[in-house]
Amino acid sequence: MKLPEGIRNQVVMEFPSRPENVAFARTAVAVFAAQLEFTVDELDELKVAVSEAVSNAVVHGYAGEDGCIRLEAAITGDGCLVVAVQDRGRGIEDVESARQAQWTTKPEEHMGLGFTFMEEYSDRVEVESAPGRGTTVTLYKTPARARIPS
Amino acid sequence: MKLPEGIRNQVVMEFPSRPENVAFARTAVAVFAAQLEFTVDELDELKVAVSEAVSNAVVHGYAGEDGCIRLEAAITGDGCLVVAVQDRGRGIEDVESARQAQWTTKPEEHMGLGFTFMEEYSDRVEVESAPGRGTTVTLYKTPARARIPS
Amino acid sequence: MRMEARRVRDSLIVRLNGELDLESAGPFRTLVQEELDGSGRIRHLILDLRGVRFVDSSGVGAILGRYREIRTRRDGQMVILGPRPPVRRVLELAGLLRLVAVADTQQQALALVKEGNPAP
Amino acid sequence: MRMEARRVRDSLIVRLNGELDLESAGPFRTLVQEELDGSGRIRHLILDLRGVRFVDSSGVGAILGRYREIRTRRDGQMVILGPRPPVRRVLELAGLLRLVAVADTQQQALALVKEGNPAP
Ligand SMILES: Nc1ncnc2c1ncn2[C@@H]1O[C@H](COP(=O)(O)OP(=O)(O)O)[C@@H](O)[C@H]1O
Ligand SMILES: Nc1ncnc2c1ncn2[C@@H]1O[C@H](COP(=O)(O)OP(=O)(O)O)[C@@H](O)[C@H]1O
């Protein structure tokens, strides 16, 4: 298996966009992430961030229809965890607005806090999206321990 | 996502054949399997069976070289968990012998108990293998609770 | 997630165990709604989160929806009982703890709804 | 997996925590070997598995290798301390419990190696 340049280890997962797979996805990523020196608190944070990205693919990307979610989790050479959550659903018209707190296209049921939680609980969030083509959200998180010079 | 006929839910995972990914694989399958009514003991059994199949792909299939392991976990319509572990490694010459207890091609380090544990800890084990082409081991397990007529 | 509901005077106490997310938010909403519909006498909601390991924004949304129901339609109070630190942090980040009081024990929670003004 | 080794008289006590599988079997083997090489006086091995949640055939293989080393090269005894039920079942299935005694406490384990015949 040829890993991409600069990647030390990687898992790729694909599953249908169902609410019951959100727990699977966040837990599987946390188990993989345990190969790095994350604290229990950091793994809890990671679970929230992944849960938001995958829930968005289910709720907004495929809007309740059965689509395929692809999740890649990778460990980079310098010990960063990168998680990319990809759907081939409806995509986001205006990414900049979507990322703002309390911005939601489903105000009856949702609070527009998904991206806020992703930002809060990871180091960096990247969003790539095209209407009608789908969305890829990429989360970056490095264990705090690894960032303290020893 | 079109699921295969008779399949209620499914995840597909791919990862490099490294010892550190064996724990990831067995835990991820157990997390997915928790969607069925397995007891904690049954999930422990499942972890052992998956651990054996994935370890074999690492140790024998790719013999320590970096190959890709593909793992499919599915829930069938009648509530059975099916786990297929596939490598594209060296394959098995004589599957019937390989499945026997204490049969191993690496007697210095291994005990030949991998298949014995898979048989003991799942309901059924299928092996498909061709020398030079790789091996797919498929494990079937239904929660005991589901088998008791209520 | 496992859920249990019971009534103490005019308070509904709902105890959750497990993970409150997109999957369990629906059943949680249904359970509370059924209990409320089943009795006009319920005014307050005490949410026992001591057994909850995980909450995300879908979970917070479901809690906030129940809060609105209780406040606007029942003129009641909502109190959250015993959230673990990571769960508490999520609730805080969502701004929910500016609306809802937190209690450590059930007794304290019942006292807070009786006072009628639990928000800090 | 976390591992700790210490010596009591002529016994090496190795305490394992976590999961003993293909990944951790190597470090476990190395740790025991280094301790044995570092002291000619060690004869017995007490394996404290109370903190071990998981063992598979790779883990059993690593334990069996240490057993052979202790038996054939040191003429010593091996005792396993406190395996949890699922771990115990794996060891039993592998036939290891026909060779090695199991103790519930460290004191009992030390008494068993002193008797010089711990196998049941
Ligand atoms: N995967 C996605 N596909 C399509 N639209 C999305 C996706 N993720 C987010 N969005 C859009 O961005 C908005 C804001 O997302 P978020 O901050 O997670 O809040 P919420 O999920 O509560 O609406 C959503 O309401 C939706 O319109
Ligand atoms: N994925 C695989 N690829 C190639 N050979 C395999 C694979 N799995 C098992 N085998 C063969 O079958 C034998 C028996 O396997 P097993 O019962 O797991 O015992 P062990 O792993 O201890 O050797 C192995 O020694 C190996 O020769």
| pLDDT for residue A4 | 87
B110 pLDDT tier (thresholds 50, 70, 90): confident
The verdict on a CB contact (< 8 Å) between B22 and D23 is yes
Alpha helix ranges (H) inside C1-120 = 22-38, 57-68, 74, 85-93, 106-115
A56 CA distance to ligand 1 middle (Å)? 6
pLDDT value at residue C112: 93
Going by pLDDT thresholds of 50, 70 and 90, the confidence category of residue B108 is confident
pTM: 0.94
The pair of three-digit structure tokens given for residue B101, joined into one six-digit string: 């207890």
Mean pLDDT of chain D: 93
Note the pLDDT of residue C116: 63
What distance in Å separates the CA atoms of residue A85 and residue A65, rounded to the nearest whole number? 17
Cα of B85 vs its chain's centroid, Å: 5
Nearest Cα residue in chain A from B62? A1
Q: Tokens at residue B144, please?
A: 């005991």
Question: What is the model's pLDDT at position D120?
Answer: 46
Q: Give yes or no for residue C70 having a pLDDT over 80.
A: yes
- Please tell me the predicted confidence (pLDDT) of residue C115: 74
**Structure token pair of residue D32:** 């025991």
ipTM of the complex: 0.93
Ligand 2 pocket check for B127: Cβ under 6 Å: no
Q: Are B103 and B97 a contacting pair, CB within 8 Å?
A: yes
Amino acid at position A32, single letter = F
Ligand positioned closest to the Cα atom of A132: 1
Top residue of B3, B13, B65, B75 to mutate, by most chain A CBs within 10 Å, is B13
Mean pLDDT (chain B) is 94
Give mean pLDDT, residues D62-76. 93
The response to whether residue B89 sits with its C-beta less than 6 Å from ligand 2 reads yes
**Statement: residue A100 has pLDDT above 90:** yes
- Position with higher pLDDT, A101 vs B74: B74
pLDDT for A6-27, tens place per residue?
999 999 999 999 999 999 999 9
Beta-carbon separation of C22 and A113 below 8 A: no
D touches which chains (3+ CB pairs under 8 A)? B
C-alpha neighbours within 13 Å on the C-beta side of residue D90: 34
pLDDT tens-place string over residues B10-48: 999 999 999 999 999 999 999 999 999 999 999 999 999
Contacts of residue D77, defined as CB under 8 A and 6 or more positions apart, other chains included, come to: D43, D44, D45, D70, D71, D101, D112, D113, D116, D117, D118
Query: In which band, very low, low, confident or very high, does the pLDDT at B148 lie, cut at 50, 70 and 90?
Result: low
Query: Mean pLDDT, chain A, as a whole number?
Result: 94
Arithmetic mean of pLDDT, A124-128: 98
Judge whether residue C103 has pLDDT over 50.
yes
Is the pLDDT confidence value at C101 over 70? yes
pLDDT of residue A61: 97
Instruction: Using a pLDDT cut of 90, give the percent of chain B over it.
Output: 85
CA distances to B72, B87, B88, B90 from B131, rounded to whole Å, are 22, 12, 10, 6
pLDDT surpasses 60 at C117: no
Q: What is the pLDDT of residue D40?
A: 74
Task: Search chain B and give the residue with CA nearest D95.
Answer: B113
- Mark yes or no for CB contact A22/C23 under 8 Å: yes
Where b means 16+ CB within 10 Å and e means fewer, A120-147 reads bbbeebebebeeeebbbbbbbbbbeeee
Closest CA to C81 of C45, C109, C42, C120: C109
Tokens standing for residue A130: 């095209």
Evaluate if residue D13 carries a pLDDT over 50. Answer: yes
pLDDT at C120: 46
Asked if chain C contacts chain D via 3 or more Cβ pairs within 8 Å, the reply is no
Report, as an integer, the average pLDDT of C4-28. Answer: 96
Mean pLDDT calculated for residue range D18-38:
95
> CA of B43, closest CA in chain D: separation in Å?
11
